[in-house]
Amino acid sequence: RGAARGGRAAAEAAAREAYVAAAQALSRARARAAARLDRAVNAELPPLRLDKARFRTRIDPLDEPDWGESGLDRVAFEVTTNPGMPPGPLARIASGGELSRFMLALRVALAAADPVPTLVFDEVDSGIGGATAAAVGERLARLAERVQVLVVTHSPQVAARGRWHWRVAKAARKGAVVTTSVEALDEAGRREEVARMLSGATVTDEARAAAERLLAAS
Q: What is the pLDDT of residues 190-203, one digit of tens each?
A: 999 999 999 877 89
pLDDT confidence band for 2 (50 / 70 / 90): low
- First-to-last C-alpha distance (Å) of the chain: 78
Residue 198: which residues within 8 A CB-CB, separation 6 or more?
A: 156, 207, 210, 211
Asked if residue 133 lies in contact with residue 100, where contact means CB atoms within 8 angstroms, the answer is no
Q: Kindly list the distances between the CA atom of residue 18 and the CA atoms of 14, 15, 144, in Å, as whole numbers in the listed order.
A: 6, 5, 44
- What's the pLDDT score for residue 3? 60
DSSP secondary structure, 184-218, as one string: E--HHHHHHHHHHHHH-SS--HHHHHHHHHHHHH-
Query: Mind listing the pLDDT tens digit for each residue in 148-165?
Result: 999 999 899 999 999 999
Ranges assigned E (strand) in the chain: 54-61, 73-80, 88-89, 118-122, 148-152, 166-172, 178-184
Asked if residue 139 lies in contact with residue 107, where contact means CB atoms within 8 angstroms, the answer is no
In total, the chain counts a number of residues equal to 218
Amino acid identity of residue 148, one-letter, is Q
- Report d(CA 104, CA 56) in Å as an integer: 15
Query: Mind listing the pLDDT tens digit for each residue in 40-84?
Result: 999 999 988 898 999 999 999 999 999 999 999 999 999 999 888
- What's the pLDDT score for residue 64? 94
